Chain A
Amino acid sequence: MNVIVFLAAALALFFVIGVAARAAMKTLAPAADKPTFRDMPLTASFGIAVILFYVLVAVFGPLLAPFGEGEVVGAQYLPWAAPHYLGTDKLGRDMLTRLIYGARNTVGIAFATTALAFVVGSILGIWAALAGGWLDQWTSRFVDALMAIPALIFSLLLLTIFGTSVLTLILVIAAVDATRVFRLARSVAQGIVVMDYIEAARLRGESNWRLIRREILPNAMAPLVAEFGLRFCFVFLSISALSFLGLGIKPPTADWGSMVRDNATLITFGDITPLLPAGAIALLTVAVNFVVDWQLHRASGLKE
């Protein structure tokens, strides 16, 4: 019975947020963009609202949090009551505070990792397509071989060898995901480098770097941006998974993945507190996926 009430409440909340966000964006958008927002599905406006909320929490985290990030404020596993609205964790730190700081750490690290993977992967991919010949062949075959190892397994292998710290975590995940970005960037760029304007630019004597930056990247942006959203979800999920396994972001840094792991015992007592950080991860990935799905649908020009 509780489940049904909860689901109904969640669904109602989803509609309210979606409709409100769509109305807000429609009024705020410049006149030319108004139709885009008017026709946007509820899922997409809900997604945008949620992403904005996360960004705000991440930016203003220290102002919103009632306590310090690693501060022990009471007994362990306190129930939900003021001043600890979401109780305390296994060391007696305030759950709500750590959830808020987690937005900063987990999302920030995932974003930095995705950005790094993107810069490396797309530049190398476009460069390989531009260079062509044996250079392209060798790098592509090498990347294919790396991609034949499942991502999580490969990250685990690299983490064993290089040890676990936040920096190695970022570098390892970025390296693993850069292979996927490389593949996409290369295939997109391959369609562009055969265009006449690229040949014209080459004849004009533009350098390879300028070609990538000024000619190819602007034309490859649409699929790459959609991929950025999807890739962010994957990176975010794999960082959370690694943290959950105890191999990612280390305490006392507040992080959603390790918060689930640390407090998991509560679940066997029917307490849903450990589900909150996991839910925070899920909600953000859902939101990003909704927005990406909408963008892809728009870009493909499909109306079905």
Chain B
Amino acid sequence: MNAILAMIGRRLLMGLLTLFVISVVIFGATELLPGDLARELLGQSATEETLAALREQLGLNDPAPVRYWNWLTGVLQGDLGVSMATKKPISELVGTRLENTMFLALYAAAMSVPLSLMLGVLAALWRNSIFDRASNSLALTAISFPEFFVAYILILWLSQSGFFPSMVRITPATTFGDMLYMCFLPALTLTLVVTAHMMRMTRAAIINLLASPYIEMARLKGMAPLRVVLRHAVPNALAPIINVVALNLAYLITGVVVVEVVFVYPGLGQLMVDAVTNRDVPVVQAIALIFAAAYVLLNLIADVLSTISNPRLMHQR
């Protein structure tokens, strides 16, 4: 038990270190500009006074390490700074949108993970059959589709015929059931995009194991093929499967940006795209940090889970 705790502790420390480096990169990216941010944002024609005012507002007069320190301590206390475009505190803008985005990502995950695991196991079980080949080609096709293509096909198909709404409008009065109904199309889009990859990896992980001697043993003693896969192959393939699931959940985080724009979904991605259009640097930095943190956290969880699922890694001598 102590070994697990120590391992989790080490991974946590590594995760924190990664987050720290990411925050430096996200903050330091503005330093790459040849001039300074104020001149870049206002253009060449800006007068000295307006430049000075913007520098004052952005706090550009302090040296970079001081600004970074102020920003970081602010973020750690939940103060993400002030938006340049709307002059509102960023935490206020982000609050409910973060919840909406999390809801959408979780919704998509709840649909895609069981679906892709099932399809992957079946494809491995019936490998080289028509089902396997068809699902493999379909998966490759789905991986290659841009998210907005999938989204618009679904709108054309399921929203034109009046089954589901093509836009998401969330008010405080919206109930959980309504949310599930309204978010079905965006969540389905995300599901289709990530399922293909997860399914292919699940299939590959299981097929890799099917050549092992213990699988042959199980077969020779007359076990049913499905039972061989479920009892002997899947538990040993758990580590790569967990990793690919986490990777795809992390992918959901970025896929969410495009899908939110298509469905006018009030989430973080939409906010970020608006902020990039307005070149609202503090907002973009804050959201980038949130997305990156979620990404690191997911990878961390996957790392810990896949170690726990593998007895050989658990009981290292």
Contact = CB atoms under 8 A, between A and B. Distances in A.
Interface of A: 3, 43, 144-146, 148-154, 156-164, 233, 237, 240-241, 244-247, 257, 260, 264, 267-268, 270, 272, 274-275, 278-279, 281-282, 285-286, 288-290, 293, 304
Interface residues of B, number: 56
A245 B22 contact: no
A163 B145 contact: no
Nearest to A260: B148
B268 to A, nearest CB: 10
A304 B127 contact: yes
Given A150-B254, A156-B284, 13 more contacts: A43-B137, A145-B21, A145-B25, A148-B18, A148-B292, A150-B253, A158-B29, A160-B275, A162-B40, A245-B257, A246-B277, A257-B146, A278-B146
A158 B33 CA distance: 10
B18 A160 contact: no
B13 interface: no
Contacts of B295: 148-150
Interface of B: 18, 21-22, 25-26, 29-30, 32-33, 37, 40, 127-128, 137, 140-141, 143-149, 152-153, 155-157, 160, 166, 207, 250-251, 253-254, 257-258, 261-262, 272-273, 275-277, 279-281, 284-285, 287-288, 291-292, 295-296, 299
B277 A247 contact: yes
A148 B262 CA distance: 26
Contacts of B140: 43, 286, 289-290, 293
Given A159-B276, A246-B277, A260-B152, A153 B288 contact: yes
- Secondary structure at the A interface, as helix, strand, loop or mixed, is helix
A15 to B, nearest CB: 12
Contact of A148 (B37, B128, B296): B296
A157 B287 CA distance: 9
Contact of B155 (A233, A237, A267): A267
Contact of B291 (A150, A162, A264): A150
